[in-house]
Amino acid sequence: MAHSSYRQFCPVAMAAEILCRRWMMLVIRELVAGTTRFNDLRRGVPKMSRSLLATRLRELEDFGVIERHLLSHQSGVHEYRLTEAGRDLVPVVEAVGNWGQTWVESRLSLRNLDASLLMWDMHRNLDPAPLPNRRCLIQFCFPELPPRQQNYWLVVEPSGDVELCRDDPGFELDLLVTTDLRSMTMIWMGLATVQELRERLDLSGDREIAARMQTWLGLSPFAPTERRVS
Amino acid sequence: MAHSSYRQFCPVAMAAEILCRRWMMLVIRELVAGTTRFNDLRRGVPKMSRSLLATRLRELEDFGVIERHLLSHQSGVHEYRLTEAGRDLVPVVEAVGNWGQTWVESRLSLRNLDASLLMWDMHRNLDPAPLPNRRCLIQFCFPELPPRQQNYWLVVEPSGDVELCRDDPGFELDLLVTTDLRSMTMIWMGLATVQELRERLDLSGDREIAARMQTWLGLSPFAPTERRVS
DNA sequence: CAGTATCCTATCCGATACTG
DNA sequence: CAGTATCGGATAGGATACTG
């Protein structure tokens, strides 16, 4: 049914047959964002089942969009890397994302708040440059959420690597950001700035780091896209 | 299930939720190509059921991609026109089609030969300029097909309007093109030229019109895209 | 012609359990 | 951790018949 062919020679049809399967565009988005490991991909599509992710990855492999490399014979762990055909999907993801940013009402998007997904996205796009040239620890707290989902820590290494933790790493905190999930998501999506929502953010810790939050906080890749709806 | 939300605030996810439903990209392709009537849309997606097309059109309307206008209160016939949000989908269709043209093997596309679909596409993109400035009639014949699917007539009006007929309009023929469906599809897709497949084409009628076939025969919008696979 | 309503089935997909 | 195998239910959507 849903996967049977459209039976059209048209390149739009042939491409859509592959790209428009359920979840596929989001898996591709993750791969385009540079994620290569199965469980990291899962963090980007947490509502997708493991088995379906495995199926989609195999389909992408069959279609020549990704290559599966065995990382260790011991563990049987794979790495999934885009082929040239896969890297060429960047314009597709951009076109879809730009359209969504421009035309999907924020009221609809903001129904889908998800702290762990937001933090996962944020950890990928954070810009270490404005931060001190040492290991930094920044905690985000969403008091509205159930205890297990309230706290997240971003560890920014001097190398620029950013790690996301769900448990307190234990060393000295540079900044604690306490806010509501909706405000933080709006800022990440470019729907508002740190300035504009300043009164909904509680920043405690290093004043310099707090003052520069809008700069080190990398936004969504689609944040610069002009919006045409509320 | 398949339509239930991805539950992600990401604009790629929000857009994909709408755009990546089964058949949706092809319906949008037709609308972008300028088709506005239900049964004309059906000709562009002949394998899609009527009821599903109606459903998809309603969804596009709900999402603000098209507007439905009642053409006649008598008949209850509607016209479907893209809104500004809908016209903004052109880059999405282009990105998908370009990727398909570049990376889908022609061996796969050419499994989906369909004469009526090909002729419907051709009638849309034909360029009347190189033809004589009078009404012209060009017949295409695919002898390999069952009798009912063998013959198609393109009527090119002096105004530039092109009509596709399945029955002989009866007036004088300017050119009869007899060929196989695969060759004609390859030419339309830009995989080969009239010159290259000259020996598989039988052209009888006006010599001038025959000689200029590659020019008046408009190709697929994706024909110019460079291919990277066989 | 231009759709709409209904029914039924294929199959997609999520849950669960299992393996190296 | 990194997946794979299996099973059952939900549902998308095709077929058909119907209406203005």
Which chain A positions have a beta carbon within 8 Å of B99's beta carbon?
11, 15, 19, 88-89, 91-92
B139: left (phi over 0), alpha (psi -120 to 50) or beta: beta
CB pairs under 8 A between A and B: 205
Q: Which residue is nearest to nucleotide C10 (CA to C1')?
A: A1
What residues of chain B lie within 8 A of the CB of A185, using their CB?
9
Model pLDDT for residues B68-114, shown as the tens digit of each residue: 998 877 777 889 999 999 999 999 999 999 999 999 999 999 999 99
User: Looking at the DSSP assignment, which residues form a beta bridge with residue B165?
Assistant: B153
Calpha distance B221→A108 (Å, rounded): 34
User: What digits encode the pLDDT tens for the residues B122-176?
Assistant: 999 999 999 999 999 999 999 999 998 999 999 999 999 999 999 999 999 999 9
Which residue of A2, A114, A121 is in closest CB contact with B2?
A2
Nucleotide closest to residue B51 (CA–C1') = C4
Q: Is B71 on the interface with A (CB under 8 A)?
A: no
Q: A119 and A152 in contact (C-beta within 8 Å)?
A: yes
Question: Could you read off the pLDDT of A40-68 as tens digits, one per residue?
Answer: 999 999 989 888 899 999 999 999 999 99
Question: What is residue B2's predicted lDDT score, i.e. its pLDDT?
Answer: 41
Spatial CB neighbours of A51, under 8 Å, sequence gap ≥ 6: none
**pLDDT tens column, B19-77:** 999 999 999 999 999 999 999 999 999 989 999 899 999 999 999 999 999 887 777 78
DSSP character at residue A227: P
- Two tokens at B155? 């009527």
Buried b or exposed e, range A36-57, using 16+ CB within 10 angstroms: beeeebbbbbebbeeeebeebb
Do the chains contact at B222 and A16, CB–CB below 8 Å? no
Establish if B117 touches chain A: CB-CB under 8 angstroms: yes
Mutate to test the interface with B, among A29, A94, A103 (most CBs of B within 10 A): A103
Nearest-5° angle of CA B55, CA B85, CA A96? 85
Nucleotides of D under 7 A from a protein CB: 1-6, 9-17, 20
pLDDT at B128: 97
Q: Is the predicted pLDDT of residue B1 greater than 80, yes or no?
A: no
Q: Please answer yes or no on whether A85 and B100 come within 8 Å at the CB atom.
A: no
Residue ranges of chain A whose pLDDT lies below 70: 1-4
Judged by CB atoms closer than 8 Å, whether chains meet at B11 and A84 is answered as no
Model pLDDT, residue A4 = 66
B77 at the A interface (CB within 8 A)? no
Instruction: Report the DSSP beta bridge partners of residue B205.
Output: B175
Nearest protein residue by Cα to C1' of nucleotide D9: B1
Residue A204's DSSP bridge partners are A176
In chain A, residues with a C-beta closer than 8 Å to the C-beta of B121 are 10
* Predicted local distance difference test score (pLDDT) of residue B4: 64
Q: Which two tokens stand for residue B10?
A: 């990401």
Whether A36 has its CB under 8 Å from any CB of chain B: the answer is no
φ, ψ of residue A132 in degrees (nearest 5)? -55, 150
CA–CA separation, B139 and A183 (whole Å): 63
